[in-house]
Amino acid sequence: MNSIKTAKSALVSVFSKDGLAPIVKKLDELGITIYSTGGTEKFIKEQGINVIPVEDVTSYPSILGGRVKTLHPKVFGGILNRQNNESDVAELQEYEIPQIDIVIVDLYPFEKTVASGASEQDIIEKIDIGGISLIRAAAKNFADVLCVSSVNDYAEFLNLLNEKNGQTSAEDRKRFAAKAFNVSSHYDTAIFNYFNAEEVVYKASITEGKKLRYGENPHQEGYFFGEFDAMFDKLHGKELSYNNLLDVDAAVNLMGEFANDDPTFAILKHNNACGIATRSTIHDAYVAALAGDPVSAFGGILIANTQIDKPTAEEIHKLFCEVVIAPSFSDDALEVLKGKKNRILLIQKEVALPKTQVRTCLNGVLVQDKDLKTDAVSELEHKTNNKPSENELEDLIFASKICKHTKSNTIVLAKNKQLCASGTGQTSRVDALRQAIEKANSFKFDLKGAVMASDAFFPFPDCVEIADNAGITSVIQPGGSIKDQLSIDYCNDNGVSMVFTGTRHFKH
């Protein structure tokens, strides 16, 4: 097989015409015959370039409202023939089928049409049939044909034309074939996921990807697949690492619970909050959040639910931190925060997040609905004789939101909408509580009048007893243990209020 091919003809049938004009002009300059149809044919003619309508090759017009234009043996024969096969060459001559050396296609925008909220009829019409068939045919026959399968590849193809004057190597064609099958498989996955309502099948395809410096540790490879720029404007700092991205994800999910609350600031480390507080100003919220654990805050991820101003930025600037996230920054705050060249500053945009979670497991994957349930005062079940005060109720919900986003087993202690401490990732709920109390005491928090949140029920009354002895006056937990009454009885005997949510919030 001759690996170098000189193109003599090209079939062009695209949805997006952006960037197409210089390509067809270059094809014409190189003397490459252009075949086209419909709107693409019209566009090429408007460039003053000669183009042969596909209908002149097939002797059939575009029919069924444009649904059938290129689906014809004289088109696909020109693409799929093997140029080193004598029988194929003879059949081309016998049936007067033109050889096609380049296929340029850009598919109907199915995903964008779905995302726009269009009607089902409009969505169905954006399922490309001819285009996807052309892509698969040209990519399959990469030995002889070069396939340009997306507007995203126009620039690379134009560079190839300019550099090699219409010649392509086997490596060029195979590289573009890989791109083509990536496009076709992604397109089919999107269509399947739109239609599927009953099949228990997991199909996912993300075309945006980036290689990271490394994974969780330097000896591991790491990649991020997704449209990061659609969610954030990166204003300053170094490239985000694998661990940065995990922490940013945890921060965004946690702060989502406080999106509509008063100014709230959180500091996270290893995906867990080490400090969070709600106050009347974002400056005061940051100061209170930092007080929750100024040691763990070193090298942390910071996030606010409102604009970061200069006074807050000046406080932040005293701390070494990896990332600062906010809906916006004042100009003078940015000037301060950019004082550290590696500090990453992100403006978070309003983007819908996935409602499912996926993780590898054994030789497959686990998929689940995201925990979108936020506990609310109106849904609480009061289980004790003593009822929480209004301030305690606010703190209980505050603590519950944090608890939901902390690694299990967890206990969260809060007071006056400030995280006092949490016990995270413990194998015993008692250990988690003791860890939280010890930590709170080490940072001089007065736990008298504080509240406690647990991500799961208490199987024994030991936790409420330990909490009571530490000064905790109110408890929020899911309930559901066959021994719930033991904890209720202890609370009633000792003046502790307790509410049940009915919802467990494990996070593994």
Amino acid identity at 479: G
Q: What is each CA distance from 267 to 89, 110, 301, 448, in whole angstroms?
A: 69, 40, 6, 24
What is the distance between the alpha carbons of residues 286 and 283, in angstroms, rounded to a whole number?
A: 5
What are 233's strand-pairing partners?
A: 347
Q: Return the sign of the alpha-carbon dihedral for residues 71, 73, 74, 80.
A: positive
What is the distance between the alpha carbons of residues 105 and 38, in angstroms, rounded to a whole number?
A: 13
Q: What is each CA distance from 120 to 115, 123, 127, 194, 199, in whole angstroms?
A: 12, 5, 11, 10, 20
Any idea what DSSP says for residue 103?
E
What is the distance between the alpha carbons of residues 14 and 41, in angstroms, rounded to a whole number?
A: 10
What is the distance between the alpha carbons of residues 69 and 242, in angstroms, rounded to a whole number?
A: 47
Report CA 321 to chain centroid distance, whole Å.
Answer: 23
Q: Strand order in 321-326's β-sheet?
A: 232-236, 344-348, 321-326, 300-304, 264-269, 272-278
Q: Vertex 193, ends 192 and 198: CA angle to 5°?
A: 90
- The catalytic position among 25, 270, 310, 373 is 270
Whether 210 is catalytic is no
- The catalytic position among 8, 25, 26, 140 is 140
Whether 140 is catalytic is yes
What is the distance between the alpha carbons of residues 392 and 416, in angstroms, rounded to a whole number?
A: 8
**Residues that are catalytic:** 140, 270
